[in-house]
Structure 1
Amino acid sequence: MSTPDLNLLVTLDVLLAEGSVAGAARRLRLSPSAMSRALARLRETTGDPLLVRAGRGLVATPRALDLRERVNQLVQEAEAVLRPAEALDLRALVRTFTLRTSEGFVETFGPGLLERAGREAPGVRLRFMQKADKESASLRDGTVDLETGVIGNTTGPEVRVQALFRDRFVGVVRTGHPLCRGEMTAARYAAGSHVVASRRGADKGPIDEALKPLGLEREVGTVVGGFATALALARASDLIASVPERHTEGLRAGMHSFRLPMPEPEITVSLLWHPRLDGDLAHRWLRRCVRDVCGAFTPPDCA
């Protein structure tokens, strides 16, 4: 079966409203002959005469009368779909957004984001999903609406990226740790036993590269999968955790944080989304909320 020409719906809507080939032609800016040909196609497609002559005019058949309201509604809905998006009514918005991010990001920025969303759009629910890797498949298939993190080699080339903020690594130890006292030097820092956070299980990273020019190497006591776990171990032992400052502000509460005693490796945390959501007004609002909340947060200075 061949696909029907949906343009005929507009023609049929105007013909049924005008009840006249000439009137419909004027309204659609077509010649009378072109409109007559369109009516012939409609009759062939529907299997009904639709409009039949009665004296000098045309009258609608029972089938045409039955179709008139339905066709008009379909045309109006189609025009609404193709019309540029209207202003978003946040108070009436009902939607669930899924954000894939780290535990530290949720701990630090989640409360502000939830407060902002609840105040502006009470019908919106935010669902946070743990970020286990940097693959872009979940953005591509629509499982995730937004993602935050550092751009990696596995980030899809089509993914939209916008920088949120720059972060730096800080050292963290339990209260009462020997490193809480005395001058912090690169040698003292490197000599301690370290817990390294790496999703891939690597025991080397940017911090080790920063220590190399100083002729120093960290003593790695253990490797874990994330910053939250690294901090939990450091809180309960003499391990030294090195974590992003802004991401872990809440997780480091009650612990001693210090600036690294060597050139600090920095990272750029970005917002990622799929291009199909570029023009979605609700998604634009959510992206603006995340940017504003991250931009308004100022972490306390390390001792």
Structure 2
Amino acid sequence: MSDPDFNLLIALDVLLDEGSVAGAARRLSLSASAMSRTLSRLREATSDPLLVRAGRNMVLTPYAEEIRERTQRAVIEVRAVLRPSTTALNLATLERTFTLRSNEGFVEAFGAQLIAAAAAAAPLVRLRFAAKPEKTSKHLREGMVDLEIGVLGEMGPEIRIQALFHDRFVGVVRKGHPLEMQGEITPERYAACSHVVASRRGLTTGPVDEALAVLGLERRIASVVPSFPAALAVALASDLVALVPASFLNNQRVMLNQSAQLQLSTYAPLYQFELPVKTQGITISQIWHPRAEADLAHRWLRQLVLNVCRPRG
């Protein structure tokens, strides 16, 4: 019996990942007809239809679902075997662009430190920060980014995850705001204020509102902005109350302490307070695709991010 065409393995991996002939064709830079022929060969090799029509869409057969992760692991192993052997990583000569997909608040909080740390160790490395309008593993699976950073969403069982730090939300108002000047910040006083909310998707409610609702309270949302830095800027120039991650403010204070020139920063005249209701904490993680697991340069990048973001005791 002759060996199968191992080139089909990569096509099978992409096909099972995409769940469509058209999507697999785009990933592999093939025409739709060429991808259809490849699917026919895969069906013949596996004695299974792999993809079947369900209404207007295609779905994986039970066998295809069963071999999906095995196929992906096999492709990763093959690529690792065929990659040039590297016993050491020379950071001084490493010339590479790493793409990190994160929200604007993370870049504001950690971007400068990450860039400086990378430049000190590997001067030819470039860090590219990409916007993160939604939570998806698509960019990792297709090799468009090296790391996803943020709160874990639906990523799939194969995706690798490492917690960077735990965070919580705090309230922020301008200095001299009535919440600062008029005694204890109770749930009632907090809810009675007008608020600015940060949401990429334009949502107006969240865990804070759920906690207030238990007490029979509801806050008034006066404005919705796309990012935490924008919410902070609006709050500091108005009487609105903002909700931002504590890590964001903590890192801004580190920057203020490190440079006298930053004393004029717009982040200086603020009053931060703990929320008067309990909300669940959040975990910020770095997330990557298993294809990068053994890559020495990628390992260095992950350790760099961990070192910069790790809480200082």
Alignment-derived partner of residue 179 in structure 2: 179
Does 2:243 match 1:228? no
Alignment-derived partner of residue 279 in structure 2: 264
- Aligned mates of 1:260, 1:236 — CA distance in 2: 21
User: Mapping of 1:246-261 within 5 angstroms?
Assistant: 246-249=247-250, 250=252, 252-261=267-276
Aligned length: 221
What TM-score comes out, normalization by structure 1 length? 0.68
User: Mapping of 1:52-131 within 5 angstroms?
Assistant: 81=82, 84-131=85-132
- Aligned mates of 1:254, 1:84 — CA distance in 2: 54
- The alignment partner of 1:92 has SS state of coil
The range that moved more, 251-260 or 213-222, is 251-260
- Aligned mates of 1:284, 1:84 — CA distance in 2: 16
The Cα of 1:254 is off from its aligned counterpart by 2.8
Alignment-derived partner of residue 281 in structure 1: 296
Mind listing any 5+ residue stretches in structure 1 that lack a counterpart? 4-79, 299-303
Does 2:158 match 1:152? no
Alignment-derived partner of residue 49 in structure 1: none
1:69-97: CA deviations, max 9, x gaps?
A: xxxxxxxxxxx956653111111111111
Alignment-derived partner of residue 74 in structure 1: none
Does 2:218 match 1:217? yes
- Aligned mates of 1:82, 1:115 — CA distance in 2: 30
The alpha-carbon distance between structure 1 residues 184 and 82, as it changes in their structure 2 partners (threshold 3 A), is closer
1:207-265: CA deviations, max 9, x gaps?
A: 11222222221111122222122112112111111111103442844311111112133
Alignment-derived partner of residue 190 in structure 1: 191
1:72-130: CA deviations, max 9, x gaps?
A: xxxxxxxx956653111111111111111122211111122112111111111111112
Aligned-residue Cα RMSD (Å) equals: 2.3
- Aligned mates of 2:212, 2:267 — CA distance in 1: 24
- Aligned mates of 1:260, 1:296 — CA distance in 2: 21
Letter in 2 for 1:110: G
The alpha-carbon distance between structure 1 residues 104 and 210, as it changes in their structure 2 partners (threshold 3 A), is same
- Aligned mates of 1:225, 1:283 — CA distance in 2: 30
- The alignment partner of 1:279 has SS state of coil
1:37-73: CA deviations, max 9, x gaps?
A: xxxxxxxxxxxxxxxxxxxxxxxxxxxxxxxxxxxxx
Q: Which has the larger radius of gyration?
A: 1
Whether the 8 Å contact between 1:207 and 1:265 is mirrored in structure 2 is: no
- Aligned mates of 1:253, 1:241 — CA distance in 2: 15
Letter in 2 for 1:256: Y
Alignment-derived partner of residue 142 in structure 2: 141
The Cα of 1:148 is off from its aligned counterpart by 0.5
The Cα of 1:168 is off from its aligned counterpart by 0.5
Whether the 8 Å contact between 1:147 and 1:273 is mirrored in structure 2 is: yes
Letter in 2 for 1:208: D
The Cα of 1:270 is off from its aligned counterpart by 0.7
Does 2:308 match 1:290? no
What TM-score comes out, normalization by structure 2 length? 0.66
- Aligned mates of 2:206, 2:271 — CA distance in 1: 22
- Aligned mates of 1:186, 1:82 — CA distance in 2: 58
Identity %: 56
The range that moved more, 285-294 or 202-211, is 202-211
The alpha-carbon distance between structure 1 residues 152 and 83, as it changes in their structure 2 partners (threshold 3 A), is closer
- The alignment partner of 2:248 has SS state of coil
